[in-house]
Structure 1
């Protein structure tokens, strides 16, 4: 629990306010000096954006994790953009996503914002336009940009072929309910060729 709390930059007091418990109780729970009811564990998991089962995972047992491309969880395609999750659940200090864009595809009609303190976008293939508030940046393969996720942002493929980007967000902010929207990945039509 402490690892998830610190990754989200929450104090014991803040987590206590979110869960209706005290900082003292949570401190004892983190040190293994107290137990918690199922209801309290559910409240803690929801506040941390994880599953209750994640609270019982042995972090030391997961030191080397391989994720094959074909196993990446994905969101349903939207506006010519497929977004897959590269980070393994439970998310810790950061989260990583891959976005694949058809020609003209985008992250949506309007710019969006989300939690986190820092986001980086790296262009892996193609040419994209990244709108950040009133600013617009054209990025090509190998280029990157860093920004605050609280800035309204939108990514659009403006090239003549498919584009692929990687988003890295820190700290991890996606809640379990958001991550549960990701389903089995489906390979792109024609094997991803432009």
Structure 2
């Protein structure tokens, strides 16, 4: 075995764990057996080029990234102009920062124009632990009937099952970050 092949199994395991995938889930997504994947991760077998491509595809990386020891701890840089944009309320832009198959964490960046809000009424989604951080500007964060004025670097932690709403009552744009764990179910996304 080459040095790259010796380290392939642990790198596959690292990528799998980084994405919160079980051995069985990765095997199913890659179209390989769970026992083969287990043996690969434990260094007891090698992967063919075809298997390597399938596993890499299921992990959302290139085969080269699986062979490069420097890449096992990260998915790389997500450039601002390549962030997926979600439809939001008028004057609100929301961008995905946590790309699939990341399974345990969901991160969004948002921009609120002056006067913009997540909607006329508070909303809920799932029952995740959520962190909301103001990066620039000021917003009013409504949570369970209370109002919190928040400025740059302020944050608030809450359960996403509690009705909440964000509104920019200022004259300047506001930039924010939402962090949810676990991710919101697809059918429950708000603004």
Q: TM-score, normalised by structure 1?
A: 0.56
1:120 is aligned to 131
Question: How do residues 31-110 of structure 1 correspond to structure 2 at under 5 angstroms?
Answer: 62-64=72-74, 65-69=76-80, 71-78=81-88, 79-109=90-120, 110=122
Structural RMSD (CA): 4.7
Secondary structure at 2:125's aligned position in 1? coil
- Within the candidate set 92, 99, 111, 2:123 is matched to 111
Where structure 1 has 5 or more consecutive residues not aligned to the other structure, the ranges are: 10-14, 16-30, 32-44, 179-194
Q: Distance in 2 between matches of 1:8 and 1:68?
A: 19
Aligned length in residues: 164
1:151 is aligned to 162
Which of the pair has the greater relative contact order for Cα pairs under 8 Å at 6+ separation? Answer: 1
Q: TM-score, normalised by structure 2?
A: 0.57
Deviation at 1:95, TM superposition (A): 1.5
- In our comparison, the structure showing a higher alpha carbon Rg is 2
1:106-155 CA-partner distances (Å, limit 9, x unpaired): 1122423234x310111001110111121111101111100001111111
1:23-75 CA-partner distances (Å, limit 9, x unpaired): xxxxxxxx9xxxxxxxxxxxxx9xxxx99x9xxx9xx9553311111x34343
Where structure 2 has 5 or more consecutive residues not aligned to the other structure, the ranges are: 1-12, 26-41, 43-57
